Amino acid sequence: MPSVFTAASAADTRAHAARFAADTHAGMVLRLRGDLGAGKTTWVQGLVAGLGSDETVTSPTFSLLHEYRAGRLTVFHWDLYRLGADTDWSLLDLPEHLPGAGLTVVEWAERYPHPFPKKNCWDINLTVSGDERRKIEIFHHE
């Protein structure tokens, strides 16, 4: 059964992720899902801040991967939005991070054609439910 939270603003979304960060550990994989503008990167901003980092978090859409090392855990922040069926997945380091030495966060995880680990894998679904409101559902896979 998912955990459900309604964020009234971007600040609420970041605060929710910062609270979630307290229970994270190395080897976790977080699969973020949601339409464009749903708040996936905003959620990651809160996660990185909650881990004690003041690094600026931006979407890795064009670089595919950003690493944030200043907090309690290294965050490997992937964005698979631009990748499609013709992608040579063997050229990416993503499988090395599943699970990895830090916390692996994957936006647009549904585009990855291979299985994710069954253990320590979390789905975080963000849905727009108003101008600033977001519904955040978290599913844990054991």
pLDDT above 90 (res 114): no
For residues 87 and 138, give the distance between their C-alpha atoms in angstroms, rounded to a whole number.
Answer: 28
Q: What is the mean pLDDT of the chain?
A: 89
* Domain boundaries of the chain, sorted by first residue: 3-83+95-141
The predicted-structure confidence for 35-65, as pLDDT tens digits, reads as follows 998 999 999 999 999 999 999 998 877 788 8
Q: Which fold has domain 3-83+95-141?
A: Rossmann fold (3.40.50)
Q: Residue 142: which pLDDT band, with cuts at 50, 70 and 90? A: low
Q: Residue 23: which pLDDT band, with cuts at 50, 70 and 90? A: very high
Exposed (0-12), middle (13-18) or buried (19+): which is 118, by Cβ within 10 Å?
exposed
Which pLDDT score, from 0 to 100, does residue 88 have?
A: 74
This prediction has a pTM of: 0.90
